[in-house]
């Protein structure tokens, strides 16, 4: 099942609202032209989205209890330490970039998320198996499945980086 963050849901809602308004205006303009109506049209003001209705407010205590991406990766892969090193090398523990979009590789923009799962090679299988590689949970879960099936081979291009860390001999499958 796909998981979406509240920010992604808000952006999706706003995009759909803009598209719907644009479509309605365009349709009206086309129909007015067909009917021979040449008078200017007026569009009612687009309702503003009240973010309090969409974004849940959380307390400072709840913020303090949240895990960073690095903490999540370290806990999730505590049984496969080499995967922690791979995440460090591949993305420096980033699932999202500074704009809140999924982090993409510098060398290959089709590598996404904290584990830099390649969209071209892995997305069809990930989707078929109900992994959303664009979320932290889906990205790491699919990376675990890749590791279970292929060892560290999917991350061979960054081996020069992660093989120098202390966890290199622990739970490394090739």
CA pair distance 161, 164, nearest whole angstrom: 6
- 158 shares a domain with 72: yes
Structural domain that includes position 17: 6-57
111 touches 139 (CB < 8 A)? no
Same domain, 26 and 83: no
If one counts every other C-beta atom within 10 angstroms of the C-beta of residue 127, the result is 14
Q: Which residues face 104 on adjacent strands? A: 112
**pLDDT tens digits, 82-118:** 999 999 999 999 999 888 899 999 999 999 999 999 9
Taking only the tens place, the pLDDT of each residue in 55-74 is 666 666 666 667 789 999 99
Q: What is the rounded CA–CA span in Å between residue 30 and residue 25?
A: 9
Tell me, yes or no, whether 47 lies in a domain: yes
The Cβ of residue 159 has, within 10 Å, a number of other Cβ atoms equal to 15
The reply to whether 88 and 18 lie within a common domain is: no
| pLDDT tens by residue, 13-29 | 677 776 777 777 777 77
Residue 166 has pLDDT above 60, yes or no: no
73 and 48 both lie in a single domain: no
CA nearest neighbour of 94 among 85, 81, 83, 103: 103
Domain assignment present for residue 174? The answer is: no
Do both 128 and 42 map to the same domain? no
Q: Is the pLDDT reported for residue 46 higher than 80?
A: no
- Taking only the tens place, the pLDDT of each residue in 110-163 is 999 999 999 999 999 999 999 999 999 999 999 999 999 999 999 999 999 998
**pTM (two decimals):** 0.61
What's the mean pLDDT when you consider all of the chain? 81
* Residue 53 confidence (pLDDT): 56
At a CB cut-off of 8 Å and minimum separation 6, what does 56 contact? 6
pLDDT for the residue 10: 65
With beta carbons less than 8 A apart as the criterion, state whether 95 and 133 touch. Answer: no
- Cα separation, 122 vs 155, in Å, equals 12
pLDDT higher than threshold 80 for residue 79:
yes
pLDDT value for 66 = 72
Instruction: Report the pLDDT value the prediction gives residue 34, as an integer from 0 to 100.
Output: 61
Distance of CA 98 to the CA centre of its chain: 12
Total tally of structural domains belonging to the chain: 2
Inside any domain, residue 108: yes
Q: Are residues 19 and 93 in the same domain?
A: no
What's residue 125's pLDDT?
96
Is 171 part of any domain? no
**Would you say residue 168 lies in a domain?**
no
């Amino acid at each position: 099942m796909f998981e979406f963050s509240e920010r992604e849901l808000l952006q999706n809602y706003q995009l759909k609202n803009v598209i719907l308004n644009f479509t309605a205006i365009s349709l009206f303009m086309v129909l007015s032209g067909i009917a021979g109506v040449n008078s200017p049209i007026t569009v009612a003001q687009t309702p503003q989205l009240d973010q309090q209705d969409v974004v849940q407010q959380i307390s400072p205590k709840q913020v303090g209890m949240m895990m960073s991406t690095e903490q999540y990766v370290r806990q999730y892969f505590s049984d496969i330490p080499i995967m922690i090193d791979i995440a460090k090398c591949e993305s420096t523990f980033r699932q999202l970039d500074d704009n809140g979009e999924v982090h993409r590789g510098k060398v290959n923009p089709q590598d996404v998320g904290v584990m830099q799962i390649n969209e071209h090679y892995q997305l069809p299988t990930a989707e078929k198996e109900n992994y959303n590689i664009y979320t932290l949970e889906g990205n790491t879960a699919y990376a675990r499945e890749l590791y279970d099936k292929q060892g560290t081979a999917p991350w061979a291009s960054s081996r020069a980086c992660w093989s120098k860390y202390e966890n290199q001999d622990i739970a490394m499958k090739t």
